[in-house]
Amino acid sequence: MMRHPILMLCTLILAGCGQKTEDKPLQYSAAPPAAAETVYRFAVHPLHNPEKLTQVYQPLIDHLNRQLQGARLELEASRDYQAYEVKFRARAPAFLLPNPWQTLQAQKVGYQVIAMAGDAEDFKGVFIVRKDSGIKQPADLKGKVVSYPSPTALAAAIMPQYYLHAQGVNVTRDIENIYVGSQESSIMNAYIGKSAAAATWPPPWRLFQRDHPAEAAQLQLIWETPPLMNNSVMARDDVPEAVRETIRQALLDLAQTPQGQAILTGMETARFHAANDASYERVRDYIARFEKEVRPVEQP
């Protein structure tokens, strides 16, 4: 007997949070390559589960590889935010696409900002509820569950919690916060009724509406936070300048061609902007206020 398609969808998306990318099989050759390539890992923070993230970001990696000579990028996904943060704190990937809070943490271990991914105006938290939830104002969430991808997700947890705090909701006492591993899972928790509201941010919500229109039709965006800086692109400080500059320029030029625009559309990203470490100082100030008034970003 076939399972109900919506139940299958929920199972796949919720289970996706814990999926690990498969190891690629080793390839052997009778002779060494004529010119050995240097492989650089490009790690994108868990905007989606690993399978979805690969689908969305592999076209970007393929495009960047066409610009490089004697070097190659490989996309690296992570099962959750915590696994991703372990990787960059160990300086394992050469390139990162982290959220702004992770950007500040990566600066501490020698990564440097080379671009910003997307418009700053698009980096904001949004709350998604079922249309039949009865939720009308933030106070209606008291005593209920709110889902988020991770406690360190800036747009999808920190900014929404600061919004609730400003609206008179004590986020450590008035509501139950659950951290479910990915943006899709946060949304799906609201869809199936495990949470009264889901916190996420615009690109995953747009992708959900595009990929799952029937389910999205039963949901609505009810509140949004003011915007902040968008995600960064970072290079480890030992990456050769020529490689770093090639990647930086290719990202900044992406919106100028139809092929590049198609890649950006697939990522729900308008364009890449010039940025450096100093661009994220306003995020540092925001985090300081949040930790003083609401909670520590990293949970014990």
Instruction: For the chain, list the domains and their CATH numbers.
Output: 38-120+229-289 (3.40.190.10), 124-226 (3.40.190.10)
Quote the pLDDT of residue 284: 95
134 in helix, strand or coil? coil
Residues 6+ apart with CB under 8 A from 218: 130, 131, 132, 191
Quote the pLDDT of residue 3: 45
Among residues 288, 133, 278, 264, which one has the least CA distance to residue 197?
133
What's the DSSP call for residue 4? Answer: P
Which token pair is 206?
């747009």
Quote the pLDDT of residue 47: 83
In the chain (300 residues long), the average pLDDT of successive 10-residue segments reads: 47 46 40 68 90 93 96 94 95 97 97 97 97 97 97 96 98 97 94 98 94 97 97 98 97 96 94 97 96 90
Question: Environment class of residue 151 by beta-carbon count within 10 Å: exposed (0-12), middle (13-18) or buried (19+)?
Answer: middle
Quote the pLDDT of residue 14: 52
Quote the pLDDT of residue 10: 52
**Distance separating alpha carbons of residues 206 and 124, to the nearest angstrom:** 13
**Distance separating alpha carbons of residues 94 and 74, to the nearest angstrom:** 10
Quote the pLDDT of residue 26: 37
